[in-house]
Structures are given as structure tokens and as C-alpha cells.
Amino acid sequence: MRFGINTFLFTSPFTNASTRLFPKFKRWGFESVEIPIEDPAHIDPAHVKRELDRHGLVCGSVCACMGPDRDLRGTPEQQRTGLEYLRRLLEQMVVLDCPSLIGPVYSAVGRADAVPPAEQRQQWRTVVRNLKTICREAERLGKQICLEPLNRFETDFINTCDQALRMVRDVGSPALKVHLDTFHMNIEEKFQPAAIRKAGRLLGHFHACGCDRGTPGNDHIDWKGIAAALKAIGYKGDVVIESFTTDVKVIARAAAIWRRIEPTRDEIAVKGLKFLKRTLR
């Protein structure tokens, strides 16, 4: 198990200049960095890889940022744009030596519609078709795609581990895995440890966040149960802190962070990492 930090806690968008964060991450004890690439033009992946190497870090995952124009269940143009964006991320991951593309790769974040069942089934078939296409590319490049259920306020499409597993089964690609996040699970799952056990060997990525997006451990989440579940399934992947604060305005607005949840964002990273290492290892 390896512990990582998502850079949204400190910056948006991530650019070449954002690599200045790496020495701090290393000093705090993180092993991997999760990089949200909002636009592939924002970075030179070769430069980012050199900086990671220089500071003894790895890019454990690239986070897909699915805006309104990137939607695998949207209009034909939105589907094409989404697929092309995901392809470019996979290509950059080769240079970054990054194994996992993670996030809600199926649809635009924030799209929550009450559509008739027939339309929902058609959307599902459309996403299955598009994910089969992008998963073939991931298989060719030796990468995995980890599909993340989001809470009901951020999507109407995949909210639970059960739904994510159904999508993985329907796509039928060895490259497609499940990505679970304690913040979203806290809203949507009856019991987080049970969802983890259900994902089993298909759990490819894990986000550890406080129930309020704050510091892991400074909350009411059943971390002991989560630790036991991760151990029971033999999880060996990354555990990443993905928390947001009011300091990064664009992300705060997108994630509905309206108040200061913790004294500082550094505290979220430092105390959160200490807690996770103590609890999960």
C-alpha cells in the first residue's frame, strides 16, 4: 500500500510550475502524487516526470477532470471530446510512468438529471460502448482505468459500488477497475467496509477523505472497519488524500466548500497522512 496526495488541495490547474509542491510532499512523507490534468496542454509530462524523479516521488494516478464538454453519455460531440481527452491522458501517462487513470470517467461532473428509465438504459449502453473503446487503448498501453462512483449531488449515473461493478462487468475489459472514495461512500453506501469487500479484487484505487472533505481521522467515518476491509481483500494500491479547501477558489466552488473545514490545508495533508499510515498499515 502506498500513500499519495491529490494536488487539488493546493492548486488548480496543475501546470509545470506546480511541481514546486513536490519537495513539500516528499518532506511530509508522501510516496505518490495524484495529478488532475484539467487540460493536457497545461503540462509537459516529461518535465513533470523529471521533477518527480528528482524528489523521489511517483505519479501514482492521473485524475480525469470531466467538464460539461467531456461526457461519455452526452451528445455525439461531447462523447468524441471526452474520448479524445481520455486518450490524451493515457498517452501522457506513458511518459509519466503512471499506472492508473481515475475518476468519474463516464460523464460530466455535476450532471444530475431525472431521466425516464428508458433514457437511462440508453445512456448506460452508450457509456458501455465508449468505455470499451477507451479501455482497448488502456489495455494496449498497459494502463488501468478506475471508475469512481460519485454522490447523488454530483451525478445521477453511478453513485454506488454496486453500480460501478455492474458497469465494469458490462464493459468486460481487464483494464477497467473500481475507484472508491470515503467521502462519496459516506453519503451513498449503507456500510463502507461492506462496499470495499464487495469490490474485492476489482478495487483499483482508493481515496481517503474526511466525511466533510477534511482530514481523514478527524471525522466519524469507520476507519477501523475500512482498514479491516482493505486488509481482507488484499488491497495493494494507492490510498490518496483528496481533500479540498477554500484556498483554491475554483475547486472550492465546484466542490461546494463554503467554509474553512480545517485550520490549514497543510494540516489536512500532514495529520491525515500520519493517521492513515497508523490506521491502514
CATH number at residue 135: 3.20.20.150
Does residue 249 register a pLDDT over 90?
A: no
pTM of the model: 0.96
Residue 260: per-residue pLDDT: 86
Summarize the confidence of residues 252-265 as an average pLDDT. Answer: 85
Summarize the confidence of residues 15-24 as an average pLDDT. Answer: 98
Q: For residue 178, how many other CB atoms are within 10 A of its CB?
A: 26
Residue 248: per-residue pLDDT: 83
Summarize the confidence of residues 91-109 as an average pLDDT. Answer: 98
Residues annotated as part of the active site? 148, 242
Question: Residue 247 forms beta bridges with which residues?
Answer: none
Chain-wide mean pLDDT for the chain?
A: 96
- 12: nearest Cα among 59, 63, 56, 46: 63
Contact 221, 206 (CB under 8 A): no
pLDDT band at 221 (very low <50, low <70, confident <90, very high): very high
Least confident piece of the model among 49-53, 110-114, 159-163: 110-114
22-71 tens-digit pLDDT: 999 999 999 999 999 999 999 999 999 999 999 999 999 999 999 999 99
Does residue 279 register a pLDDT over 80?
A: yes
* Pairwise CA distance, residues 268 & 7, whole Å: 12
pLDDT band at 245 (very low <50, low <70, confident <90, very high): confident
* Pairwise CA distance, residues 223 & 227, whole Å: 6
Summarize the confidence of residues 239-264 as an average pLDDT. Answer: 86
Does residue 118 register a pLDDT over 90?
A: yes
Does residue 256 register a pLDDT over 90?
A: no
Long-range CB contact pairs, 22-27, < 8 A, 24+? 22/51, 22/52, 22/54, 22/55, 22/57, 23/55, 25/55, 25/57, 25/269, 26/55, 26/56, 26/57
Residue 258: per-residue pLDDT: 80
Looking at the structure of the chain, the number of domains it has is 1
Question: For the purposes of burial, counting CB atoms within 10 Å of the CB of 3, is it exposed (0-12), middle (13-18) or buried (19 or more)?
Answer: buried
Domain enclosing residue 253, as ranges = 2-280
Residue 44: per-residue pLDDT: 98
pLDDT band at 207 (very low <50, low <70, confident <90, very high): very high
The strand pair at 32-37 and 100-103 is best described as: unpaired
